[in-house]
């Protein structure tokens, strides 16, 4: 009798998981009630604590969570997790030159004077990392990292501003958050679909350690998504369309903050001229400089009368 009840319970769980997987695949969790779905799944997870089903329901809750909008506080803490991953990839090599750090932060704050830039919970944080490769990457919540090599390739302050504006645009457009949501959703769907087919067959066979491992995998979906996306940002970058979108929004920020819009094109032209010596970093994670300049069109040639005056400030700071 107990065996029969157990089988019925397992089939019920499998059916629930299959329904959850189907809802995810059809986009049902995009509905305004996804917070209710998340809350209900978490409640079921608590009610079945200590069983494999608890982890499965928790996975469903995280999947539902991936479809809702995050608050500024949530974006901030997600961004901190991504920032920690980025720093670890660079062996925590924050540049020790405080004058350089302050200068880059001042440029970043000047870019943020553009009213179009979206605000974050604690503002933006611009961090210069040691290293010669040309690399710049941003995390949700306003964490922007740029290597000394990327800074040194700029011929003036406006080109540094263009580099930072591009990364601020990624944050404002929530490209990182959207990527993490997508990865979380994909991982959750795969795990739920797999579990729906396997739980009945494997429930009686798995050892306690195997069930614990499955539970850990399901409940770690979100953390895995952060690691996966951070790796992708540093190795592959965003899609071409998202990079072009960030470039165009960066031009808006540059104009509003008083920097030369042409600085982005001149910076891209400079790093494009590095040729084979410029592999890695931006060269691997972004479309080619030539493609990006062409995509900017007439904006690539916009003039700004104050650009020459700002070159003096750049030279004093970087010794150029």
pLDDT tens digits, one per residue of 215-238: 344 334 455 666 666 666 665 678
- Name the more confident of 293 and 299: 293
pLDDT at 74: 84
| Sequence spans of domains, the chain | 2-70+176-234, 72-175+236-318
pLDDT at 303: 72
Closest listed residue to residue 264, CA positions, set 284, 239, 237, 282: 282
pLDDT at 288: 83
Average pLDDT over residues 186-211: 50
Q: What is the DSSP string of 208-227?
A: HHHHHHHHHHHHTHHHHHHH
Residue 59 has pLDDT above 80, yes or no: no
pTM given for the model:
0.70
Q: Using an 8 Å Cβ cutoff, are 218 and 191 in contact?
A: yes
Q: What is the DSSP string of 74-112?
A: HHHHHHHHHHHHHHHHTTT-B---HHHHHHHHHHHHHHT
Q: Residues near 114 by Cβ (< 8 Å), separated by ≥ 6?
A: 252, 253, 254, 255, 256, 257
Which structure tokens are listed for 311? Answer: 């070159």
Q: Using an 8 Å Cβ cutoff, are 146 and 124 in contact?
A: no
- Name the more confident of 37 and 281: 281
Q: Please state, in angstroms and as integers, the Cα–Cα distance from residue 131 to each residue in 217, 270, 319, following that order.
A: 35, 18, 18
Q: Please state, in angstroms and as integers, the Cα–Cα distance from residue 115 to each residue in 22, 119, 140, 166, 254, following that order.
A: 42, 9, 19, 15, 11
Confidence at 70, pLDDT banded by 50, 70, 90: confident
């Amino acid at each position: 009798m107990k065996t029969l009840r157990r089988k019925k319970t397992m089939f019920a769980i499998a059916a629930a998981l299959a329904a959850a997987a189907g809802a995810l695949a059809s986009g049902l969790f995009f509905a305004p009630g996804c917070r209710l779905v998340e809350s209900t799944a978490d409640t079921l997870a608590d009610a079945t604590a200590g069983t494999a089903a608890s982890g499965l329901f928790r996975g469903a809750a995280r999947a539902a969570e991936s479809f809702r909008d995050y608050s500024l506080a949530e974006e901030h803490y997600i961004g901190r997790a991504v920032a920690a991953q980025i720093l670890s990839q660079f062996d925590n090599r924050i540049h020790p030159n405080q004058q350089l750090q302050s200068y880059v932060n001042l440029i970043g704050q000047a870019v943020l004077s553009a009213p179009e830039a979206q605000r974050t919970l604690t503002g933006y944080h611009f961090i210069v990392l040691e290293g010669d490769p040309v690399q710049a990457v941003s995390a949700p919540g306003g964490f922007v990292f740029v290597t000394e090599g990327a800074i040194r390739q700029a011929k003036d302050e406006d080109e540094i501003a263009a580099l930072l504006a591009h990364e601020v645009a990624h944050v404002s457009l929530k490209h990182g958050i959207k990527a993490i949501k997508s990865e979380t959703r994909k991982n959750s769907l795969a795990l739920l679909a797999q579990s729906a087919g396997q739980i009945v067959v494997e429930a009686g066979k798995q050892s306690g350690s195997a069930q614990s491992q499955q539970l850990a995998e399901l409940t770690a979906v979100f953390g895995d998504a952060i690691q996966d996306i951070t790796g992708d940002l540093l190795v592959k970058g965003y899609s071409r369309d998202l990079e072009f979108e960030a470039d165009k929004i960066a031009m808006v920020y540059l104009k509003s903050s008083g920097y030369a819009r042409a600085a982005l094109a001149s910076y891209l032209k400079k790093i494009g001229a590095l040729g084979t010596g410029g592999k890695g970093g931006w060269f691997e994670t972004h479309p080619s400089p030539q493609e990006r300049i062409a995509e900017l069109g007439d904006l690539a040639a916009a003039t700004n009368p104050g650009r020459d005056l700002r070159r003096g400030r750049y030279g004093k700071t970087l010794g150029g």
